[in-house]
């Protein structure tokens, strides 16, 4: 057991999918995994391990934001020996050509969080995806004929910011979309020498103001889950 995960060491697979929402972890386990067992209920942050096409895979809710995902990622790597961490989440598009339901593979992550400024004494660090997982995910998404874009995302500390136009500066510099976790995930994966990737589905657009219905969200979420599970090793 670690502080926030009530599992024994071998309960968790070497590859873990990481949705922010613990109910999505349950949805993935129930709909995509065979023989899934629930290994964690601490704080309602469900974790499951099961089998996908013969591969042992886990899925762990992370909560929202860099502090929350960092707790789970830290414990998964240091206490449970996890080697591949694949975040599956939603994002808000910041670019005109990036539409609702499109898939984004986060090659790198910018952030307004101070977490790496504190860690690196005021200097910048560039949180970057595992190229191996990124290439695999890109190839699988293309084979499936999905609309996929690869690039920089913004991991923001605020969902409800004070300046409604703050995203435009990031957009001007080519950042594709905003979410709230990837900078934390990629930095910890680098620190511990393991592989990480974020796969996102566009759920809303800051450019057009459109948002997906819950029905649409479920369908496109399934495409993203399948990519993540195919990438799993």
- Residue numbers 122-161 binding ligand HPA by CB under 6 A: 156, 159
* Nearest residue to ligand HPA on Cβ basis: 92
The number of residues that bind ligand HPA (CB under 6 A) is 10
Whole-number Å distance between alpha carbons of 43 and 75:
15
In 13-162, DSSP assigns E strands to: 15-19, 34-40, 47-52, 55-60, 84-93, 103-111, 148-155
Instruction: Write the interaction track for ligand HPA spanning residues 186-225; mark x where CB under 6 A is met and - where it is not.
Output: -----------------xx---------------------
Whole-number Å distance between alpha carbons of 50 and 70:
23
Instruction: Write the interaction track for ligand HPA spanning residues 90-129; mark x where CB under 6 A is met and - where it is not.
Output: xxx-------------------------------------
179 touches ligand HPA (CB under 6 A): yes
Residue 204 annotated as catalytic: yes
Q: Which of 11, 102, 195, 204 is catalytic?
A: 204
- Segment contacting ligand HPA (CB under 6 A): 113-121, 134-142, 174-182, 216-224? 174-182
Q: List all residues 6 or more positions away from 198 whose beta carbon is below 8 Å from its beta carbon.
A: 86, 87, 89, 105, 106, 109, 129, 153, 179, 181, 182, 185, 186
DSSP, collapsed to helix, strand or coil, labels residue 140 as helix
Output the CA torsion 168→171→172→173 (10° steps).
Answer: 140
Q: Which residues are annotated as a binding site?
A: 4, 20, 24, 43, 87-90, 179-181, 203-204
Contact residues for ligand HPA, defined by CB under 6 A:
90-92, 156, 159, 178-180, 203-204
């Amino acid at each position: 057991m670690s502080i926030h995960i009530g599992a024994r060491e071998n309960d968790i697979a070497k590859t873990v999918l990481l949705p922010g929402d613990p109910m999505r972890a349950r949805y993935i386990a129930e709909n995509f995994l065979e023989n899934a067992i629930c290994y964690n209920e601490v704080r309602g942050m469900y974790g499951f391990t099961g089998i996908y096409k013969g591969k042992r895979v886990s899925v762990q809710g992370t909560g929202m934001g860099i502090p929350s995902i960092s707790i789970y990622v830290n414990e998964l790597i240091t206490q449970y020996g996890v080697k591949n961490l694949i975040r599956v989440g939603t994002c808000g598009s910041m670019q005109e050509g990036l539409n609702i339901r499109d898939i984004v593979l986060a090659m790198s992550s910018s952030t307004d969080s101070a977490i790496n400024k504190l860690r690196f004494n005021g200097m910048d660090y560039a949180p970057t995806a595992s190229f191996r997982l990124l290439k695999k995910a890109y190839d699988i998404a293309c084979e499936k004929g999905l609309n996929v874009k690869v690039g920089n995302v913004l991991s923001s500390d605020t969902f409800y910011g004070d300046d409604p136009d703050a995203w435009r500066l990031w957009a001007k510099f080519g950042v594709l979309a905003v979410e709230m976790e990837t900078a934390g995930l990629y930095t910890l994966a680098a620190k511990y020498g393991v592989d990480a990737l974020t796969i996102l589905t566009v759920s809303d657009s800051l450019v057009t103001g459109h948002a997906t219905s819950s029905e649409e969200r479920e369908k496109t979420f399934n495409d993203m889950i399948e990519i993540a599970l195919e990438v799993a090793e």
